[in-house]
Chains A and B, each alone.
Chain A
Amino acid sequence: MTEQALEGLKVVEYGQFISAPYCTKMMADLGAEVIKVEEPGIGDEARRYGPFPNDIPHPEQSGLFLYLNSNKLGITLNVRTATGQRILKELLREADILVENNPPQLIKDLGLDYPCLKEVNPRLIMTSITPYGQTGPYKDYKGYDLNAQVLGGQGTVLGNPNREPLTFQPSQGHYQGAINGAAATMVALFAREATGLGQRVDISEFQVIAALQRGAFMPMHKFQGAIGTRNAHRGIALLWPYGVFLCKDGYFTIMTLEFYHWQSFIEAIGSPEWATDPKYTDQFTMALYADELEAHLVSWLVDHTKQEIGEICFQRKLPFQPVYSVKDLAESEQLKARDYFVEIDHPVAGVLKYPGAPAKLTKTPWRVDRPAPLLGEHNEEVYCKRLGYSEGHLAELRRAGVI
C-alpha cells in the first residue's frame, strides 16, 4: 500500500478547543503522526463542550472533541510546570511541527516561544493560531471566535441593516484559523526543504477572514467609496430575485444571475398569472417591484418543500438551492453516494457517524485509523516506549502532577 501523503511527519499539538485541533486533524487524516498534549485530569476544554449523547456530559463522549481529535495520540502533560516544559521540549526535539493556539503571552511565560524552541530543535516549525496574531497592537488582547470574525469584517454584508451584523456559526473564525494554519504549515515545510531550518508561522483568524472572505472589495472602496452593505435575506440589489426565501419546510436560495433563469423557473412552476404582469417580465424593472414580486414568489414557495423545488431547479439547471439543515445533510443521497460520512468506533462513545473527507485524493486517500484518544491514553506509549521513561518514573511524574 502506498504511503500516506503526510506519512513520516511528526506533529505535536499543544492547544485546545477548535483551531489547533482541527489544524492537526487535517494533517493526521493525511497520515501525519499527531501527539496531542492535554492538561492532566481536565484535558481539552472541548471535552466539556459537547454535544453529548442524550445530553449527558462525559469527557470521553463530547461530539466536538471526538470529531476534532480522531487519528491522534493523546498524552497528558502539565506544561505549566518546569518539568512539564522540559518534557515538552524533549518531545519537540524529535518533532517536525508544533501547532498551538495559546495566548502569545502565556507561551512566552512558559518559556516556549519560538526563540527558545529554535534552540531545542532548529528544524521545528511552530505554527501559532490566535484571534489577532503574534504582532500588532492587539496581539495581547483577549479574543474569542466572535471577536476575530468581527474584527475581520465578516459581518459587513451579513444580516439585517437595522439589526446587529451576523457572524458564521458555529465558531467559523476558529475553523478558518485551522485550515489556514494547515496550509501555511505546508509552506514552511517546503521552505525547510531548501533551508534545512524551521520557523515560526503566525496565523491570525481576523486576518485570514479580512483577506480571503472580504478583502477583494477594497479597490471598490478606495476608488468608489463603496462599502459592503447588509441586505438581510436578500442578495445585492443589482439582481432580482436574489436571496433566501421561506418555503414549506425551510428555506430556499435563489440567484437570478441571468434573466433566463427566472423565465425558466416561472415556466417550470406552471406560468402563474402574476408572473405575466409586465412589471415582472423585464429584468430591469423587476427590481423596482422587489417587495411585490417577493410576496408572489413566497406565496408559491410556501406551498412546496425544499425537495420539490430542488428537483425542479436541478432538472432545469437553475442555480437555486435548498438550504440544507444538518438533518438534510445526514440524509443526503449525494453525501451517501460520496461515502462522505464515516463510522468510527470509540472505546467509550461507541460507534458514531462523523463528517469525513474535505477532499478526495486518488493515491493517498484521507482516512481515519483510530478514534479520538482517551485522556492520557498514550502516556505509556509515548513516555515509556519513545522517551524511554521507566514505569516508576512515570508514576513519580503522575504523583507530582506533571502527567
Chain B
Amino acid sequence: MQSWIPLVPDSASTFSWKVDALYFYLSGVTLFFTLLISAVLIFFVIRYRRRTPYEIPRPIAGSHKLETLWTIIPFLIAMTMFAWGARLYFEQYKPPQNAIEVYVVGKQWMWKLQHATGQREINELHVPVGRKIKLIMTSEDVIHDFFVPAFRTKTDVVPGRYTTLWFEATKPGKYHLFCAEYCGMNHSGMTGSVIVMEPREFDNWLSGNTGSTTPTVAGQQLFQTLGCVSCHGANGEGGRGPTLAGLFRREQQLEGGQKVIADEAYIKESITNPQAKIVAGFGPIMPTFQGQVTEDQLIQLIAFIKSLPGGAATPGASPAATPTEGPAPSPAATGSPTRNIR
C-alpha cells in the first residue's frame, strides 16, 4: 500500500465522501475544543502557579452568563452534528428501488452470497460500478455484521431476521469485507473482498459463472418438492392455504384483526412457525418446516414467492412498484426508510 499513513480508507461508494465530510467536521470541532481547553489549561496553570506557599486567591462565585453561554453554544453545535448525521443515516438505510438484489447468508465463519441471476460466491462479492446493490441478509447461527470500510457502511446480520444493506460503488477495485460483530472462534477470519468491476467486465463475469439455477427457479422447485403446491397452488393462487401470488409487500389481514406487511421475515416465519400468524379465514393447519429447510432454501422460497405476479403487483424480482410502497422516492424524501424488514 502507500508508504505514508492514510487518515481515511479507500473511498469507493456514494456514501464515502459524505461520511468523510461529516467525519472531518466532527474532527475539526473536536480538535478545536481540545486545543482550546488544553491551551487555556496550560496558560492558567503557568500564569496562576502558586508563587508563595500560603497565598489564597480571591474567590469567584461563578457567572450565570458564562454558564448559559457554554451550555447553549455546545448544544447548538451538537445539534448540527445530530441533524447532519441523522439525515445521512436515513439515506444509508433507505433501501433504494430497482436495485440489484444479492442474498447474503452469514455463518460461522464465512459469507455465502447468491446473485439473483444464480451465481454463488463465498467470501467474495462481485458488483458493477455505478449500480445500486441491495443485500438481503440473514444468519444461520449467531449475529454477524457485513462491513465494507471503503463503502462506509455496515449492518448487523441477525439470525431469524432479514436485514438489508445497500450501496452504490463508484470506483473499481478490490475492497475489504469484514465481519464486524464478534461471532466466536474464527471471527477475525470471517473476512473477504468486495470486487467492484466496470459494468462490461461484470457482465462478462456473470456470463462466465453460470451453471447454478437462480434462487427463484430453485425456490419454485422446492415449492413443488416440499408439497407447498397442494395447499397454496402451483403458482401460489391459493386453495386451502392463503394466496401467495402478489403477496410480497402487501398488507395481510390476520385472524384476530391484526394486520401485517408481508415482508421477508413474515414469509420466513410463516414457513418455520406457521401458527404464529394465521391469515384471516384460514385454519391453523400448516405444519412447521423448521429444521427441514436451510437458510439458503428459505431465501430461495422467499425469492420464488416474491416473484409471483398477482393483483396490482409487477412481476419479477423488483417489487418496487407495489402500491403499498407509496410514491417513488426522491433523495430528499423523509419517507419511511426501513432496514429492518420484519
A, B co-complexed: no
